[in-house]
Structure 1
C-alpha cells in the first residue's frame, strides 16, 4: 500500500500575515478599478467627480502603502529563510524569483 503524502496548510504566522495583506490589497483593487472607470467616464463639471477622484486617490495611496508593507514582509521572510540555508539555484527557482521581481 502506498502512502499518499498529506498536504497541510502553512501555519506560519508570517505566511498568514502575507496572505492577509494580499487579500486586503485585492479588496482595495476592486473598488479602485471600479471608481476609476466610473470617474473616467464623467465629464469635468459632473457632480461628485471631485469626491470620486479623492476617494480613488486615497485608495491608490493605501494600496501603495500595503504594497510597501508587503515587500518589507517578504524581505524579512526571505532573510530569515536564506540565512539558514542558501537556495538551490535551479532554473525553476530562478524563473520564479525573476517573475516575482518583475511583478513587484
Structure 2
C-alpha cells in the first residue's frame, strides 16, 4: 500500500507486465550490475524455474542485451554476460 501510494504509476505499470517480461527485466537488471552469472545461479537466486530463466535469457540474447554461453578465462563453465560489460572482449569469448 505504501509503495502504491508513493509511486502509483510505476506500480500500475508493473501490474501490466507479463510474468515473462518481468522475469526478463529482473534478469537484465541483475546481470547489468553483477556483470556475469549463470542461468542456474539466476534460477536459485530468484526462485525461478530453469525454463523461465532460459526463455528470458533467449529473449535478452536476441535483443543483444546479454551474451550467453561465454567463456571467462580462469573460470570453469559457461557464463552469461551483460553486453554493457562485454565492451572489453578480453576474458570473454563466445563459442
- Considering the TM-score relative to the shorter chain, is it more than 0.5? no
- Select the structure that is richer in strand: 2
- Select the structure that is richer in helix: 1
- The bucket for the TM-score relative to the shorter chain is under 0.3
| TM-score, length of structure 2 as denominator length | 0.25
Higher Rg of the two aligned structures: 1
Higher relative contact order (Cα pairs below 8 Å, separated by 6+ residues): 1
